[in-house]
Amino acid sequence: MATINPYLNFPGTTEEAFNFYKSVFGGEFTYLQRFGDMPGCDGMVVEDKNKIMHVSLPIGKSNILMATDVLESMGQSLTAGNNFYISISTDSEEEADILFAALSAGGQVEMPLEKAFWGDYFGAFTDKFGVKWMVNYDYKQASSASREAESTLTA
């Protein structure tokens, strides 16, 4: 079954915000990637290269707070109402396809559901009610689950 987590957008202050959240909730970032680490960003200004493309901070047992910086140099803008997404992590590509198709019906697709450069199956859209969603299937999670199942069977 899918899990749902908040995904926040910041106007270049993601790192500051997440260091604050980390000081409040504790824990460690499970993922932190800067825009400069992305393919195709060679011509990006140095200030933007250092901004956060994606960060994840686990909170509690199964919640993950995630975020990115919104870059005006990439044609993005931040206004009240688009500073967050609901992020759905699915258990399979099929589940991702079903949820993406159903929730995006009548809405506006930002990124079609496809294999992303970081290796996951990902898409984003705004539904017909104006709510922003991301759907993600992590292939590495499936491989890990398969390995765990195999080790249980052979034990």
- Looking up residue 29, the CATH number of its domain turns out to be 3.10.180.10
List the domain range (segments joined by +) for residue 108.
3-154
Task: For residue 86, list its beta bridge partners.
Answer: 6, 133
DSSP H/E element including 42 = none
What does the pLDDT read at residue 24? 85
What does the pLDDT read at residue 154? 45
What does the pLDDT read at residue 143? 59
What does the pLDDT read at residue 2? 80
pLDDT < 70 regions, the chain? 1, 80, 82, 142-155
What does the pLDDT read at residue 155? 52
CA pair distance 51, 68, nearest whole angstrom:
8
Q: How many Cβ atoms sit within 10 Å of the Cβ of residue 18?
A: 21
Closest CA to 48 of 10, 9, 74: 74
DSSP 2-15: -EEEEEEEESS-HH
Q: Which two tokens stand for residue 10?
A: 């910041």
What does the pLDDT read at residue 45? 87
What does the pLDDT read at residue 144? 58
This prediction's pTM = 0.69
Number of domains in the chain: 1
Q: CB burial class (10 A; 0-12, 13-18, 19+) of residue 155?
A: exposed
DSSP H/E element including 49 = helix 46-49
